[in-house]
Amino acid sequence: MPTKTKAGPVHEIRLGAIKATIWENETSVGIRHNVTVARLYKDGDDWKQTESFGRDDLLQLAKVLDQAHSWILTEAA
């Protein structure tokens, strides 16, 4: 039985500590895109990420999501 390799993201957008990762999924009705978002932070010497956002993150989060939406509409169409 062949093993299916997991494909990486097709695009990533980052503004400061906020990033959106765009994933491409092949479905029975064609290509669909999903977006995951994260906030990066440093814990000692290690970089980590969380899906929790504070008040001061929200404007950057909105901008990253807007750019992800635009990328999907233009680049992936």
Q: Is the pLDDT of residue 77 over 80?
A: no
Does residue 38 sit within a domain?
yes
Tokens representing 18 are 């906020």
Does residue 4 sit within a domain?
no
Does residue 6 sit within a domain?
no
Give the pLDDT confidence of 2-24 residue by residue, as tens digits. 555 678 999 999 999 999 999 99
Find where tokens 């990762």 sit: 21
Find where tokens 């097709």 sit: 10
Does residue 25 sit within a domain?
yes
- Total domains, the chain: 1
Give the pLDDT confidence of 54-73 residue by residue, as tens digits. 999 999 999 999 999 999 99
Does residue 70 sit within a domain?
yes
Q: How far apart are CA 77 and CA 36, in angstroms?
A: 19
Confidence of residue 52 (pLDDT cuts 50, 70, 90): very high
Query: How much is the pTM?
Result: 0.85
CA distances from residue 53 to 16, 18, 23, 45 in whole angstroms, order as listed:
13, 9, 21, 21
Does residue 5 sit within a domain?
no
